[in-house]
Amino acid sequence: LDFNILNNITNIDFWIEKQAQKDLIAIFNAIISIKNETAKNLFMLAFSETLREASYTRNNEFKLFRMKEYESYIPNTYKIFNRKLENIINIYIEFYQQKLRGINLSVYNSSFYNTDKKFDTILTSPPYGDSKTTVAYGQFSTFINEWLGFKEARKLDSKMLGGIKAKKLYEKGLMKEYILEIAKADNKRALEVSSFYENLESSIKSLPDSLNIGAKVFFIVGNRRVKNIELPTDEFIAEVF
């Protein structure tokens, strides 16, 4: 077994028990030996969930916090992996498999700026809020990203919408009054919210050049509350478009 991969995880002994580290390496090595890429990806998804549950990270928490009772937590890593894999397979068979006939799926990691591709429909759901203060997607995926060798895994949240705090308040359109109201209670928080809406506006304005004439765009949105003030993100998106 190649234990060098453990060096990818920042402060691994703080987060993962010693035997669990060995078990995870054994599972991972078995997965990467799978020849079929589709099957390998499915097993890797189960491994990703196992890596997090086998760690000392608190359950039901997106941000990285170590559980108080970590010293008594001795995970059965193989049992966790089998449960995760069985659940993923059942979901795939019961839901996805029957819906995937005749679908051509292409995955791109790129910007909508300066693209030659044109789309008839875009269905997207922007983050509920900035990753640092709401759902910390970067922290949630830190372990698997580090395990796979992504060097800036712990900087991911700062690269998402609202990841870098704005230097001035966002004072455009209908959001102005809401952000100014937040600023009365907490100016730092208002700047964080401003950064999110600045980035979201920029993201929205990058879409039209990628749309065919008559195309439709669907946003699935949740309106969050900051300082007990509900922010009308749905109306903001409509206004920017």
193 pLDDT more than 80: yes
- 63 in a structural domain: yes
**Tens of pLDDT along 152-161?**
766 666 666 6
> According to the model, what pLDDT value does residue 113 have?
60
Range of the domain at 168: 119-126+161-240
- 104 in a structural domain: no
DSSP, res 173: T
Strands 211-219, 225-226: parallel, antiparallel or unpaired by DSSP? unpaired
Q: What is the mean pLDDT of residues 104-110?
A: 66
- 152 in a structural domain: no
Question: Hey, CA dihedral for 43, 45, 48, 50, is it positive or negative?
Answer: negative
The count of structural domains within the chain is 2
**Tens of pLDDT along 80-98?**
999 999 999 999 888 887 7
Q: From CA 175, how far away is CA 29, in angstroms rounded?
A: 50
Q: From CA 156, how far away is CA 167, in angstroms rounded?
A: 20
**Tens of pLDDT along 194-203?**
988 988 888 8
**Tens of pLDDT along 165-188?**
778 998 999 999 999 999 999 998
What is the rounded end-to-end Cα distance, in angstroms, of the chain?
Answer: 54
pTM above 0.85, yes or no: no
Q: What is the residue-averaged pLDDT of the chain? A: 85
Do 166 and 92 lie in one domain? The reply is: no
Strands 225-226, 229-230: parallel, antiparallel or unpaired by DSSP? antiparallel
